[in-house]
Amino acid sequence: MEIRALTFDVFGTVVDWRSAIIAELETLAQKKEVQGDWAAFVDEWKAFYRPAMDAVNSGERPWTNVDEIYARALDELLPRYGLTNMRKPEIDHLTHAWCRPHAWPDSAPALHRLKEKFALSTLSNGNFSWLVAIAKHCSLPFDCVLTAENARAYKPDPRVYRCAIEMLGLRPEQILMVACHNYDLAAASSHGMRTAFLPRKEHGGDQTADQAPEHDWDFVVRDLEDLATALSC
Amino acid sequence: MEIRALTFDVFGTVVDWRSAIIAELETLAQKKEVQGDWAAFVDEWKAFYRPAMDAVNSGERPWTNVDEIYARALDELLPRYGLTNMRKPEIDHLTHAWCRPHAWPDSAPALHRLKEKFALSTLSNGNFSWLVAIAKHCSLPFDCVLTAENARAYKPDPRVYRCAIEMLGLRPEQILMVACHNYDLAAASSHGMRTAFLPRKEHGGDQTADQAPEHDWDFVVRDLEDLATALSC
């Protein structure tokens, strides 16, 4: 069974969100004349994400977009880091820093190669609108955008993968899930999708998690250019 | 309020489905050595669409994709036109002729111009997977795909426009609906979206319906290149 479509995890796999948001915070802090450990701020900010999503998946919390999760986190983080003198548009702009990541250097060239042969979709836990914005900001030529919002559940909830398979109108084995997170591939694989793993240092140079495949994934590659080569693109 | 995204009706507005499907039927008929009026076949085929969608919108019929609507129509049409000697893969291939339309000559160049400035989405009654296939077949650089399938209702049902507005994360007046059908723009406008009308001869040279705007739409243009010019792209 031939692969027809590729679904990409985006934060971490396709883009480097952390260094871009740290840079935005540094610029903001300089303007506000506030000192702080902005890498620690970003790591704390990111840490709000999983518990909030798990609460949505379990039904404990109603459907909540990631932008709302991150915006609410700022209510707590900004005062703690001394960023108190912020107007609403400045806070909104900071929340949307998640839409202004840096693409990893291999991402855009590889997607252009892969697009010649496959349908390329996102399959991210980010907002639909954020993914559209990221694709434009980083010039990533996805053919379509699928996110948690389409399924109103977050990866690794089965509803997200089932929704993607249904929307793409393909058999699961015709879809290759591409991610730098083993948990995401494990979930995709359990629905019959094929899997490609690549390591990323999305949490910074000291990251040790997800630097190697934890299962026998269909493809294990160095980066997305390497994946394009493995798929004869 | 500045326009940020454009949502496009696709069948008729961006692509010429009719001439492409007539051509495919002519090739098929020649192979099968069957004579017939293939333009009439296509017009009858298309006529199955609106009643079936209306039945879905009213709740009389459960959610049914357009590909299923068109596939069921073939059960009736093929024998009537003498195309009886057809294998299942040939019938499936014919159903998917809707994914192999011709783009109007202005469509791809105009979308490339518009993409520099706006997020470009489909907003079609076609299957999500068909829209992905059409974008690839016709090299149409949409940023994302939104269809009736996202809302599980068909235009002009309010759910379709509300779903698009929510997914794009914008205010309705930041979204411009582009269509060659007055009914589609009337519905979009009732939700606060902006509107752009262009005439097309999707039903052939004799078409008289939808050749002029029936309301005071925000933009009335000759074609999509003209729209790109009107929007300073």
Q: Give tens-digit pLDDT for B138-176.
A: 999 999 999 999 999 999 999 999 999 999 999 999 999
- Nearest-CA residue of chain A relative to B170? A129
Query: Residues A59, A159: contact at Cβ < 8 Å?
Result: no
CB atoms within 10 A of CB A172: 19
CATH number of the domain at A5-16+101-230, please? 3.40.50.1000
**Total residue length of chain B:** 233
CATH number of the domain at B17-99, please? 1.10.150.240
3-state helix, strand, coil in chain B (%, to 5): 50, 15, 40
Cross-chain residue pair B119–A132, CB shorter than 8 Å: yes
Element at B195 (helix H, strand E): strand B194-197
Residues of A in contact with B170 (CB under 8 A): 129
Residue with tokens 């993409």: B115
**Which residue from A159, A130, A120 is spatially nearest to A65, judged by alpha carbons?**
A130
CA B141/CA B152 separation, integer angstroms? 25
What predicted TM-score, i.e. pTM, was given to this entire model? 0.96
Cross-chain residue pair B169–A130, CB shorter than 8 Å: yes
Q: Which pLDDT band holds residue A75 (cuts at 50, 70, 90)?
A: very high
pLDDT at residue B148, rounded to an integer: 95
Q: Angle at which helices B128-137 and B66-80 pack, to 10 degrees? A: 80
Q: What is the mean pLDDT of residues B192-217?
A: 97
Cross-chain residue pair B145–A144, CB shorter than 8 Å: yes
Indicate the domain borders of chain B. Answer: 5-16+101-230, 17-99
Per the structure block, which two tokens stand in for B188? 């979009």
Of A135, A150, A169, the CB nearest to B143: A135
pLDDT at residue B1, rounded to an integer: 73
Is the pLDDT confidence value at A74 over 80? yes
Distances in Å between the Cα of A141 and the Cα atoms of A122, A133, B106, B160 are: 10, 12, 21, 25
Distances in Å between the Cα of A216 and the Cα atoms of A118, A173, A220 are: 23, 15, 9
Q: Give tens-digit pLDDT for A113-164.
A: 999 999 999 999 999 999 999 999 999 999 999 999 999 999 999 999 999 9
Instruction: Please report, in angstroms and rounded to a whole number, the separation of the first and last CA atoms in chain B.
Output: 18
Per the structure block, which two tokens stand in for B184? 């589609």
**How far is the alpha carbon of B65 from chain A, nearest alpha carbon, in Å?**
11
Per the structure block, which two tokens stand in for A173? 């084995």
Which one of A132, A134, A142 makes the best mutation probe of the B interface by having the most chain B beta carbons within 10 Å?
A: A132
Residue A104 per-residue DSSP state: P
Cross-chain residue pair B119–A141, CB shorter than 8 Å: no
- Nearest-CA residue of chain B relative to A163? B150
Q: What is the mean pLDDT of residues B83-112?
A: 97
Per the structure block, which two tokens stand in for A52? 């909030």
Cross-chain residue pair B167–A141, CB shorter than 8 Å: no
Note the ipTM here: 0.94
Q: Give tens-digit pLDDT for A17-60.
A: 999 999 999 999 999 999 999 999 999 999 999 999 999 999 99
CA A50/CA A56 separation, integer angstroms? 10
Cross-chain residue pair A119–B131, CB shorter than 8 Å: no
Work out the mean pLDDT of chain B and round it to a whole number: 97
Of B132, B168, B169, the CB nearest to A143: B132
Pairs across A and B, CB distance < 8 A: 60
3-state helix, strand, coil in chain A (%, to 5): 50, 15, 40
Per the structure block, which two tokens stand in for A131? 């993914």
Query: Residues B184, B198: contact at Cβ < 8 Å?
Result: no
pLDDT at residue B197, rounded to an integer: 98
Is the pLDDT confidence value at A1 over 90? no
Q: Give tens-digit pLDDT for B25-79.
A: 999 999 999 999 999 999 999 999 999 999 999 999 999 999 999 999 999 999 9
pLDDT at residue B103, rounded to an integer: 98
Of B5, B119, B169, the CB nearest to A127: B169
